Amino acid sequence: MVYVIGHRGATGHAPENTLKSFNKAVELGADMVELDVHLCATGEPVIIHDDTVDRTTDGSGRVRDLSLDDLRQLDAGNGEKVPTLVEVIDEVSGRVAINVELKGLGCVNQVHEVISDAVGDGLVSQDGVLVSSFHLGMLEWMRALSDDVRLGLLVGDAPGKVLAFAQRVGAYSVNPYHKRMSLEFVSSAHGLGLKVYPWTVNEPGDIARAKAMGVDGIISDYPERM
Ligand code: G3P
Ligand code: MG
């Protein structure tokens, strides 16, 4: 069985990175929800993909220039709000694992603190959290803060040296762009004990191809298609 990871929740069905989207992903059978983190001006890790609010809300401006109160005023789609990482963990606790993608540079300490508190409070288990990023430096930073945290190295176009980097940081998974993923890559990753979670796989033919390569999980806007 492939591990089902809802991309920004269930983006095919609800506004991305909102509580509604995460709840929808759970309803549709996701094992894990993926979410994107930036820091806002008042220092809270908030869940939004871009470094501005322009595309996904009715506001404008950079996330890092807006306070949490400012963000609360915005509509992130269908009346949904931009949630904090704490709110998402509270919402999905006990129902699904989380894949926290570090987007905003400099959010590592705060994300680590939120996750540590959540694990300490029993809201999530340590192995129910994957921290992922395209930025090796942020993963190295996170690893310096925690020996235990599971790390996922995201890869775009050039998977060449990825496996060596993943090993260096003690990664749990490599998360490649599905169209650049080969059977050889998946096999090599498995040979090193790494899970493979490609993104963002939505079309039936692409889902079948990924499964045929033996991936461990699939990140998708449509959890129900897995
Ligand atoms: O984590 C997989 C995927 O979310 C990476 O790309 O741009 O959707 O955050 P993006
Ligand atoms: Mg993401």
| pLDDT 10s digits, 199-208 | 999 999 999 9
124 — pLDDT class (breaks 50, 70, 90) = very high
Q: Say whether pLDDT at 217 is over 80.
A: yes
Note the pLDDT of residue 178. Answer: 96
Q: What's the predicted TM-score (pTM) here?
A: 0.98
68 — pLDDT class (breaks 50, 70, 90) = very high
Can you tell me the mean pLDDT for 28-53? 98
Q: Output the six-digit token pair for 124.
A: 């999530």
Note the pLDDT of residue 7. Answer: 99
Can you tell me the mean pLDDT for 70-79? 98
152 vs 174: CA distance, rounded Å: 5
Contact (CB, 8 A) for 215 and 196:
yes
Nearest to 3 by CA among 21, 30, 36: 30
Note the pLDDT of residue 160. Answer: 72
Contact (CB, 8 A) for 10 and 35:
no
Q: Say whether pLDDT at 58 is over 80.
A: yes
Can you tell me the mean pLDDT for 14-23? 98
What pLDDT, in 10s, does the model give residues 153-181? 999 976 678 999 999 999 999 999 999 99
Q: What percent of the chain has pLDDT over 90?
A: 97
Closest residue by Cα to atom 4, ligand 1, is: 7
Mutate to test the pocket of ligand 1, among 48, 100, 154, 173 (most ligand atoms within 8 A of CB): 154
Q: Are strands 3-6 and 195-196 parallel, antiparallel or unpaired?
A: unpaired
Can you tell me the mean pLDDT for 201-220? 98
Q: How far is CA 216 from the centre of its chain?
A: 16
Q: Say whether pLDDT at 221 is over 70.
A: yes
Closest residue by Cα to atom 10, ligand 1, is: 49
Can you tell me the mean pLDDT for 100-125? 97
Note the pLDDT of residue 161. Answer: 87
Angle 31-35-36 (CA atoms, 0-180°, nearest 5)? Answer: 160
Q: What's the distance, Cα to Cα, between the start and end of the chain in Å?
A: 9
Place of tokens 């993909």: 49
Mutate to test the pocket of ligand 1, among 49, 178, 181 (most ligand atoms within 8 A of CB): 49
Question: What residues are paired with 38 via a beta bridge?
Answer: 46
Closest residue by Cα to atom 5, ligand 1, is: 199
Note the pLDDT of residue 189. Answer: 96
Note the pLDDT of residue 159. Answer: 66
